[in-house]
Amino acid sequence: MPHASTPLVSVVIPCYNAQRYIGATIASVLAQKDVELEIIVVDDGSRDGSVARVRTGFPAVRIIEQANAGVAAARNAGIAAARGEWIAFIDADDIWLTGKLAAQLAQIAALPDCRMSYTAWKVWPSDVPQPPPDYLARLQDEAMDSARWAGATGWIYPQLLLDCVVWTSTVLMQRTLLAELNGFDTTLRLGEDYDLWLRASRVTPIDRVARPYALYRIHPASITKATPAENYRARVIGQALGRWGLASPDGRIGDAQAVRRMLAKSWSDFAGAHLQARNLGQARRAGWTALRTDPTHVPAWKVLVKTGLKALSPSKEKS
């Protein structure tokens, strides 16, 4: 049983066609000990039996149904409905390990100025709903090596400029912090989480629990096959640099050269995706953007060469 002083944690689960996995996800949340919980599933226009699965198997879970509007809008709807002092997120196909929320609340209690926490995690390539006991036992052994699971903690804005080192299904945030930040940006179809962590990193230290307390499921349905319409990484980082530059709130300065290399890579990766799809005009434009960002970025030169070669092939180019 949670202690009388334990704060209520609202767990927001955006759901889209997750009938196969959402039961295991909710069960992993309910397995959290010594924490008072409310669970909110926001169904984002699912066409399968996700809602029926939750209603039948977990009648105490609150369900919000909305027309499909994207994961940012779904999470925002859950935040708006939440009653907890703290809000945690988990996607509808991921898994928490026992003790996650208690570990975060205990660690953050010693950091009175900290309003956001995340944990280490383990990538789990699997399409079975529930992790097998032998897999969990091996992970418990791996978890004892705290140095292996160390990562960015504190005022992590400079680290976030280089990579999205925070994973959404491990995050615990004060509801008042989310209100100050106006939640997730619904204009971002990708990178909405990255954008929010960058904004949060300007106003609070972000504490990392150096132990894997979540499984990030990779399965065939979770792999994005569509060619991206926009370089969301460059958009998110560009917005941050435009607002705050390289300076961290604690006085440190980010590595400008490393940021340039990262942005150039984002553009060459974007170019490569469009090259694969034979969107040669888009691939060329992205390749040149990468080189304007960092003229020494070799992958961008390679993409441009390949784009030129493909343009000479008889296959029809897409605009």
Q: What is the residue-averaged pLDDT of the chain?
A: 93
- Span between the terminal Cα atoms of the chain, in Å: 60
* Domain architecture of the chain: domains with CATH: 8-222 (3.90.550.10), 232-311 (no CATH)
- What is d(CA 302, CA 42) in angstroms, rounded to the nearest whole number? 43
In sequence order, which residues have a C-beta less than 8 Å from that of residue 99 and are 6 or more positions away?
A: 32, 33, 213
Say yes or no to pLDDT of 40 above 90: yes
Say yes or no to pLDDT of 162 above 70: yes
Say yes or no to pLDDT of 221 above 90: no
> Hey, which residues does 44 pair with through a beta bridge?
66
pLDDT for residue 308: 85
Say yes or no to pLDDT of 110 above 60: yes
**Among 56, 8, 21, 32, which residue's Cα sits nearest to residue 222?**
21
Q: What percent of the chain has pLDDT over 70?
A: 95
Q: Of 39-48, 163-172, 303-312, which gets the smallest average pLDDT?
A: 303-312
In sequence order, which residues have a C-beta less than 8 Å from that of residue 118 and are 6 or more positions away?
A: 166, 167, 170, 171, 172, 206, 207, 208, 209
**Among 169, 163, 88, 89, which residue's Cα sits nearest to residue 123?**
169
**Among 84, 89, 74, 105, which residue's Cα sits nearest to residue 25?**
89
More confident residue, 292 or 1: 292
**Any alpha helices (H) in the chain, and if so which ranges?**
22-30, 50-57, 71-81, 100-109, 133-143, 157-162, 175-181, 192-200, 232-244, 256-276, 280-293, 298-311
